[in-house]
Amino acid sequence: MLNTVLSARNGQASGTPEAAVQVEGIGKRYPGGVEALKDVTLDFPAGELTTLLGPSGCGKTTLLKIIAGLLDPSKGQIRVKGKQVHGPGPDRAFVFQDFALMPWATVLRNVAFGLELRGVAKAEREATARKYITEVGLTGFEQSYPHELSGGMRQRVGVARALAVDADILLMDEPFASIDEQTRRKLQEDLLQLLQIEKKTVIFVTHSIEEAVYVSDQIVLLSRRPGTVSRIIRPNLDHSTDLEAARRDKAYLDCVDEIWQTLKQYLV
């Protein structure tokens, strides 16, 4: 069974890996009365990429914002490394779908911005920013402005900015949704490569089944609103030798199909 095999990524031995984030009994009802989430309990294993996948409006962004501390739950609690959190913290960094870059600032300043907010001195924050600009493949574009870059490059800036603050946990809300298909595949591969260098716990939201299967260690399928955990699946693909080959792997195709069979029931 796909969902019973633990991933070998990061060399974890068998058994349940330590949870970086624990979501316990989370419910969310918005002031207008919309119940977005109901009794969501989930572990996000440290060093793994977990994807939240589910129909539009099922509460994925709501859950991500609650984990980020940007939104209060109506019920339940969030623990980061075992400690209950009540708001945003330096341990979690958000990567937005629409990049959220400052259009008037250079790539360098955008990437260094989180460190600027934390009062890190200019020389130090720029040195750190340059390191991550290189890591995401944007060397030479330090002095460019967002409007001079393609969508894919802008999203790399967003990823570099999240990496620069050195949070252990990256929260990515449909980061590649507004990017064309070919660039998107490249960004997925780059993300996996980056995660081999930077050991992060990633909570990733997408509405693409293929993207979820390709990038994830663990996929959480959410039901229609109010979102509840429907199933947890581990694709268990091997990305270690050839990133491209994983997309042709039979396990990849089987997993895409298995998820489709589950999600289909939520479509009207």
Q: Is there binding between residue 26 and ligand ADP (CB under 6 A)?
A: no
Instruction: Tell me which of 4, 14, 16, 56 binds ligand ADP, using CB under 6 A.
Output: 56
Helices H, strands E: what count in the chain?
7, 10
With beta carbons less than 8 A apart as the criterion, state whether 201 and 170 touch.
Answer: yes
Find the binding residues for Mg ion in span 46-75 (CB under 5 A).
60-61
Identity of the residue, 16 or 56, whose beta carbon is nearer to ligand ADP in the bound complex: 56
d(CA 126, CA 112) in angstroms, rounded, equals 6
H helical segments located in 97-170: 107-117, 122-135, 151-164
Identity of the residue, 141 or 266, whose beta carbon is nearer to ligand ADP in the bound complex: 266
Identity of the residue, 29 or 81, whose beta carbon is nearer to ligand ADP in the bound complex: 29
Q: Which does 30 bind (CB under 5 to 8 A by kind): ligand ADP, Mg ion, none?
A: ligand ADP
Q: Which helix (H) or strand (E) holds 233?
A: strand 229-233
d(CA 255, CA 261) in angstroms, rounded, equals 10
Instruction: Supply the minimum distance, in Å, between the C-beta of residue 113 and Mg ion.
Output: 23
Identity of the residue, 60 or 224, whose beta carbon is nearer to Mg ion in the bound complex: 60
Q: Which does 228 bind (CB under 5 to 8 A by kind): ligand ADP, Mg ion, none?
A: none
DSSP E strands: which ranges in the chain? 19-29, 35-45, 49-53, 75-80, 83-84, 92-95, 169-173, 201-205, 218-222, 229-233
**Number of chain residues interacting with ligand ADP (CB under 6 A):** 12
Instruction: Supply the minimum distance, in Å, between the C-beta of residue 64 and Mg ion.
Output: 8
Contacting residues toward Mg ion, per CB under 5 A: 60-61
